[in-house]
Structure 1
Amino acid sequence: MIGMNLKALRKAKGYSQEEVAEKINVSRQSVAKWENEESIPDVIKCSELANLYEISLDELVHDKISVEEESTNSEDGKYVFGIVKVGERGQIVIPKHARDVFDIKPGDKLLVVGDIKRGLGIGKVSRSIASDFVFEE
């Protein structure tokens, strides 16, 4: 949750990851890892981040921050989870928040569909339907 909060707060303030890193004296890579929930900032950096974003430490760590720029509207079930990078072998990493919302676990099967005008769509496939498909690895 802290990663999503940090990203939403940074975007709401209009800061780049580099600007946040400079303001709290860390590397841009550290900021990126925190936002991607690959690591978490120590308590001193959390305090500095809370001061930077003018919120309490408790809000930063425990609450889901909702800012206008965040593209999430769970009431109507529509989300924008962010941008992913396609690896050299075509693999993508589905953001943690998306995996949580759609209960996607390792080993689950996903159906990829596409429309040349609308783009790609990915959906979780139930076990009973998955047996009807041939999946390419």
Structure 2
Amino acid sequence: MIAENIQLLRKRAGLTQEEVADIAGTSRQTFSKWETGESVPDVLACDKMANAFGVTLDDLLHYDEKANLLPFPPKGKHLFGTVTVGTRGQIVLPKKAREIFHIEGGDSIVVLGDETQGIALLKAEEMMEFIQKALKKGNEEM
């Protein structure tokens, strides 16, 4: 999996084997072996490549575009799948989304909407922190 991912991401980035080898701190010959699956890079080289390609280390190692039917997600961006809206408008947030954003039962969520861009969900406490910072900054500028 990692060999295919390294090769795919390198080609998408428009980089040569030598350019990525320099980023990873190795020779072009060693990098070539990583792409063919003859050997695997160490974790430090993987981290450097993931950062250069703008993906997470986990995705560099494990992401399967064919199985997911989607290209590599950019680092920090997530597609959690679909949810079904209940008859009263309720939805269940996917477990991975709740884990990443530290959402637990009983948390308050602010629902924002833009008719051209869609709906956004924010934890209420984070929205309040943002508002307080904005007010404080506004008062300082006066």
TM-score normalised per structure 2: 0.45
Rg (Cα) greater in structure: 2
TM-score normalised per structure 1: 0.47
Greater fraction helix: 2
